[in-house]
Amino acid sequence: MSASQSEPQALTDLLRALRTLPGVGVRTAKRMAYQLLQHDRQGAADLVRALEKALNELMHCERCNGFSQTPVCPVCEDTRRDTSVLCVVETPADLDAVEASGHYQGLYYVLMGRIAPLDGLGAQEIQLKRLLDRARSGGVKEVILATSFTAEGETTAHYLSQALQAQGITVSRLARGVPSGSELEYVDAGTVAWAMLERKLT
């Protein structure tokens, strides 16, 4: 995006930063920037502080790899969770989607991505070894693959299934209640709950 000669550099930098967000193009970035700068400067200041706090305080949980403000997140620390079941998701947003279903009480592992050969993302990028180590520890009896039903999500699930089964671990996959080609974080909680309950062994 080329800036006009009348556009201040600070505004150009802000628009460029906003466009790093998914789904935000030139026009949306401008609407966001002008709203914050012209009508909600306090909101803009709050956003800056919240981002700085998140960047400085959030880390990856030592067990599930999700975001946490402590070395081990509250979900992994919860003694009421079923430690024999491990649900593998692509992102923290997907973890939230499964939690919102209200039908899963096990633990999680967050890949923080998925295998996408066309983008140069392989097993190393999703830290396969760390997942295998996690699945082999703590009495895990079943790993549920809750990756999205996109081409990349299916590729990831297939690869993980083979790797986990080679270690003698029982592996299941969400049922097809989740529409083909969909991202898990955008699926309604009821559908995720059904897919979890009707999961199939791979």
Per-residue model confidence as pLDDT tens digits over 125-160: 777 888 999 998 878 999 999 998 888 888 899 999
Q: What is the pLDDT of residue 129?
A: 86
Pairing status of strand 67-68 against strand 106-110: unpaired
Per-residue model confidence as pLDDT tens digits over 48-74: 999 999 999 999 999 999 999 999 999
CATH number attached to the domain at 9-57: 1.10.8.420
Query: Could you tell me what percent of the chain has a pLDDT over 70?
Result: 85
Does the pLDDT at position 178 exceed 70? no
Q: Where are the domains of the chain?
A: 9-57, 64-201
CATH topology of domain 64-201: Dna Topoisomerase Vi A Subunit; Chain: A, domain 2 (3.40.1360)
DSSP state, 4?
A: P
* pTM exceeds cut of 0.95: no
Burial label, 39 (beta-carbon count in 10 A; 0-12, 13-18, 19+): exposed
Q: Which two tokens stand for residue 81?
A: 């969770």
Q: What is the pLDDT of residue 190?
A: 62
Burial label, 19 (beta-carbon count in 10 A; 0-12, 13-18, 19+): middle
Per-residue model confidence as pLDDT tens digits over 9-26: 999 999 999 999 989 999
Angle between helices 189-197 and 92-101 (to 10 degrees): 80
